[in-house]
Amino acid sequence: MAWVSPADSFATAINVGIGIGINVDVGIELTNPLSAKLFADRVATLSALL
């Protein structure tokens, strides 16, 4: 196994978590306008961090 820096593995974990979180959130939150707003805010925040 190749050596992976902690930062790389952390970034990968975040990306996987975001991918899973978005899939779950879209299914749940599109049925709820308030949650959809919170989801949009969270995506905007994540985008700003990247």
Q: Is 20 part of any domain?
A: yes
**Can you read off the two tokens belonging to residue 34?**
């308030």
- Report d(CA 40, CA 34) in Å as an integer: 10
Task: Determine the structural domain holding residue 42 and report its residue range.
Answer: 6-49
Q: Is 45 part of any domain?
A: yes
Q: Is 38 part of any domain?
A: yes
Q: Is 43 part of any domain?
A: yes
**Can you read off the two tokens belonging to residue 16?**
């996987």
- Find how far residue 17's CA is from the centre of its chain: 6
Q: Is 30 part of any domain?
A: yes
Average pLDDT of span 26-48: 73
Number of domains in the chain: 1
Q: Is 1 part of any domain?
A: no
Q: Give the residue with greater pLDDT, 18 vs 1.
A: 18
Share of the chain above pLDDT 70, in %: 56
First and final CA of the chain: distance in angstroms?
27
Average pLDDT of span 16-27: 67
